[in-house]
Amino acid sequence: MTCPSRSGVPSSERMLEKVIIINTWLVKNIIYVFHNFGRKGGKWIYRKEGFRSVRTRSGGVNDLPGLMALEEGAFGPKRFPEAFVLELLHDPLVTTLLVEAEGAVVAYAMIRSSPAYQTVEVLSLAVSPLYRRKGLGRGLMQEVERSSVDSGTETVILYVRPENQAAVNLYLSQGYKVLACCRNYYGEGSDANMMVKHLEE
């Protein structure tokens, strides 16, 4: 199977306003995430490891520095060029969900819809090392699927490095299956597993 190209990302003069809000709270050391639709961001208090508050909201172009810092902390430098991420933030088919704590972005998911094919692609999902193993990644993926079903999407696809076993295990536990291995997807000598989940009605 030929690896999908990252070129040809459409741009938009005006970013489509997103109004997705996620409520986050802590019960028995697990952060549970559910979605609620509205126009204002929220702030919820919990006590865990000195983190006093978590706020979740939709992302925009002003969040570029925070997203790039999170990307570098989670995956190392230059996984995505800054110009590429900025292009995605302007794309009206792209939705970005952010999780903030102590004024910093600590997790995010970026997805792109393809209405003609009834698919959603998870372009990136990252969690700060300090906030891992708290259910944020799983909660974000569940929100991706819920919003996808609401929009009439039939399939969610994503790409992940085979050696990123924690991420692979997360997606497998959520019902995703490996469809193909895309050679050199992330560059020379760096492959990706293409994983797919067909959403139930």
- Determine which of 29-38, 47-56, 192-201 has the lowest per-residue pLDDT on average: 29-38
- pTM for the structure as a whole: 0.68
| Interatomic CA distance for residues 101 and 97, integer angstroms | 14
pLDDT tens, position by position, 128-160: 888 888 888 888 888 889 888 888 888 999 999
- Cβ(141)–Cβ(149) below 8 Å: no
Which domains occur in the chain, in start order? 20-198 (3.40.630.30)
- Give the C-alpha separation, 58 to 22, whole Å: 9
What is the maximal distance between C-alpha atoms in the chain? 47
Pull the structure tokens for residue 105.
């972005």
The predicted-structure confidence for 54-95, as pLDDT tens digits, reads as follows 555 667 788 888 888 888 878 777 677 778 888 888 888 888
Backbone φ and ψ for 139, nearest 5 degrees, come out as: -65, -40
Rounded Cα gap, residues 41 and 22, in angstroms: 9
